[in-house]
Amino acid sequence: MDQVISLTLKVWRQNGPDDAGAFQTYQAEGISQDASFLEMLDIVNERLIEEGTEPITFESDCREGICGTCGLMINGKAHGPELGTATCQLHMRKFNDGDHITIEPWRAVSFPVIKDLAVERTPLDLIIEAGGYISVPTGSAPDANLTPVPKEAADMAFDAAACIGCGACVAACPNSAAQLFTSAKLNHLNLLPQGQAERWQRAENMVETMEMYFGTCTNHGECHEACPKEISLDFIAFMNRDYVKAKIKNRKLAGQR
Ligand code: SF4
């Protein structure tokens, strides 16, 4: 049977990056526990629009835990109480009738608030731009088996590629560090034979771009706890190893030119 609950929401409202912002309280009555968290916000917004109040701004796209667009601090936890779950995949059955829920945007200096619960995450794109790609010669498509990929490397690269770029790792980190995101994006290419040609330049460029915008990792591990794709902290160790090697190799290569 469809269980219906009523909630009290404390939602962060902010008109723009320069506005101070404040919490507003809303009642969310008669919410089906089969609804997702974002569907619950949709219902609240429909009611706000009917009342002539401006709806709450929040981001979403695929609503299938794939695109990384959604992301909210729910009761102080990035993506809410369910481990390994993006905000869009969190369901209201995880809450009880009468609960009070506090909803905030990602809190990080590098993620200024655009409006209410939506934040600017461009610095993550700049890290990708610095090296999160491989150069492919144009021409006809090569045979899929032309470059053998060891099974272990394929499995690890696939695990790293699961990162959806949501930024929860940054929001959960007390230093607003982006090591988990950067290491996932770097390793899913550096682990594969196809990523070797640009490996050392990629490591240096991506890590140094990350350092321009984000804080330093001090091994709290909060990023892994918050990550909806449960990206392993091991990737940070692999990234640090590649970065140190890259500094030596790139210097040697520069000396040969
Ligand atoms: S590492 Fe996890 S938390 Fe960080 S951006 Fe990727 S999916 Fe999101």
Nearest CA to ligand 1 atom 8: 166
How much is the pTM? 0.94
pLDDT tens sequence across 185-198: 999 999 999 999 99
Mean pLDDT estimate for the chain: 96
How far apart are the CA of 211 and the centre of ligand 1, in A? 17
pLDDT at 1: 56
Domains of the chain and any CATH numbers: 4-115 (3.10.20.30), 121-256 (1.10.1060.10)
Rounded CA separation 93/170 (Å) = 27
C-alpha distances in Å from residue 227, one per residue of 65, 164, 196, 244: 11, 9, 27, 26
How far apart are the CA of 222 and the centre of ligand 1, in A? 11
**Residue 223 scores a pLDDT above 70:** yes
pLDDT tens sequence across 2-53: 699 999 999 999 999 999 999 999 999 999 999 999 999 999 999 999 999 9
Which of 89, 122, 164, 187 to probe ligand 1 with, by most ligand atoms within 8 A of CB? Answer: 164
Q: Give the pair of three-digit tokens for residue 33.
A: 């526990």
Helices 179-190 and 199-213: angle between axes, nearest 10 degrees = 170
